[in-house]
Each structure stands twice: as C-alpha cells, then as structure tokens.
Amino acid sequence: MSSLDILAMAAHRDDVEQTCGGTLLKMAQRGYRTGILDLTRGEMGTRGSAEEREQEAAEAARILQACWRGALDIPDGRVENTWENKLKVARVLREQRPRIVILPYWKGRHPDHYTASTLGYEACFLSGLARLDCSAAVPAAVVASVSPATPRAGRPRDSRQDASATPLTSHRPFKIIYATLYYDVRPTFVVDITEQFEARFQSLMAYKTQFSDQEAGKDLFPAQKEIRSRIEAMARFYGMLGGVEYGEPFLQKEVGLVEDLLMIPVKSI
C-alpha cells in the first residue's frame, strides 16, 4: 500500500459525493491517489441498512476512481470529538499518509458535519506527534481498495515513507482544505468540475437506498429530478464565481501564494 495524495473525510456516506466528489475525480484523472474516510456507517438512516450503504459507498468510490475508502465505527448521529475518536482518525492518517486532507467546513446545521471538521483537524495535528501511540485504536473497515497505478510523471514527490513498512509512524498532512458546500460561506477558491459533474452526480445516485426509494406516493423520477436540479444549481453558482460552468467550493485558512501575477485565474471585471 502506498500513500494517498488526497484524503477526503466526512461524517456520513454520501457527504463527500455531495461536497467534493468532482474534485476527487478530477484529481484521480490527473493521476493522483485519492481516498475517502467516512466517520460513520449510516446505521441511523431511515432508508437502507448499513450493509446496503456499504455496497453503495464502494460503488460510489469506484465511480469517483478513489484508490481507498474506509469507514470508522463512530455512531451515526453521534460524531463526538473525543480522544478515542481522534485516535481512530489519527490511525487512518498514519496508515494512508495523505499530503492533502479535505475536511467539512467547521460550521453547519448538522452537528455531525461541524464536529467532523474539528475532529479531523485535531486528528491531523495529533497524527504528527511522534510520541503519540494510536496503534490500539479501532481501525477503519476498508470498503474499497484499489492497488496503486503507476504514478504519473511529474507527480509531486516528498519524503513520505512507504506506509506498509512503518504503518503507524507519525504523519501530518501538508495541507488541510475545507469543503464548504453545505454552508453558506464565501469560498476562497473553487475547483472547476465541469468535466466531472456528470460522474459526480452518478456517484451520488449510487446510493440507491437513499435517492431512489423516496416516500410512498412519489415515483422515482421526480425525486431524482429535484435532487439533480438542486445539485446543478449549486454547482453552477460556484462555477459562476470561478468563471466556469460547474464548480465545487473550498476554503483554506492560509493566504494564497503567487509567483506570477499573469497566471492568476478568474477575471475581475
């Protein structure tokens, strides 16, 4: 097993598909190794069992061309920023060794979403402490795993170690960015997902128990149509901010660094 370039983390199965699935697919298409960590397994959902959702999550990961997808055993609807949970996430970070971590934005309506953000951030910090031992933490259940493709030429290299040799040595991601789609906040950048929009929508529709089994009296088509127009409207809005058709919004806490003013994208007037 080799290190991931990008790991997206979220509270629930299907969160990542909605907030940053297009970006994950785009990065995979560029030859980067991407992964998804779901903190919960969806056992509280009104539709479908956790087992069905696992199969759906695996299918969605395949559509998004993710190399790895895992799920922790944190109770659905009860994502808490406890020491125990931080160690579980830190263990995944040490095993998967991502350079970039995508977290949910730290505010929101659903407590699981904003708690996942803080939990993820603090786990990223803890994972970098050499003397922290998280080997006793419950590991993630692997939902999907694809052996690494040959890395593309020009892929950034750093001093990361091979995860299989020393799986639990300290690791701190280089970069943390926040997927803000669930919250009304101005992003610091958007990723152009015009080419990935259709597949991203299909990855969400892979959750058949959630999106095709709507309440009695409504047939499948209008429900999906409604979901699609909502998702399309959001992607178009964020795309418009970046001057492209469809976009996904992100926020970084750090300032941007510019080398060449002529290469700054997105026109002003």
- CB nearer Zn ion, residue 28 or residue 39: 39
- Is residue 100 within 8 Å of 60, Cβ to Cβ? no
Half-sphere exposure of 178 (CA within 13 A, CB side): 26
* Tokens 């056992």, located at residue: 43
* Tokens 């030429």, located at residue: 153
Mask of contacts with Zn ion, 83-122, x by CB under 5 A? ----------------------------------------
- CB nearer Zn ion, residue 15 or residue 192: 15
Nearest residue to Zn ion, scored by beta-carbon proximity:
12
- CB nearer Zn ion, residue 41 or residue 94: 41
- CB nearer Zn ion, residue 69 or residue 171: 69
Q: Is 42 left (phi over 0), alpha (psi -120 to 50) or beta?
A: left
Alpha helical stretches, state H, 128-265: 197-205, 208-211, 220-242
**What is the maximal distance between C-alpha atoms in the chain?**
58
- Is residue 219 within 8 Å of 141, Cβ to Cβ? no
CB of 45 to Zn ion, least distance (A): 10
d(CA 147, CA 215): 39
Among positions 15, 17, 54, 248, the unique one binding Zn ion when judged by CB under 5 A: 15
CB of 15 to Zn ion, least distance (A): 4
Q: How many amino acids of this chain bind Zn ion (CB under 5 A)? A: 2
Among positions 4, 8, 12, 238, the unique one binding Zn ion when judged by CB under 5 A: 12
Binding status of residue 76 toward Zn ion by CB under 5 A: no
List contacts with Zn ion (CB under 5 A).
12, 15
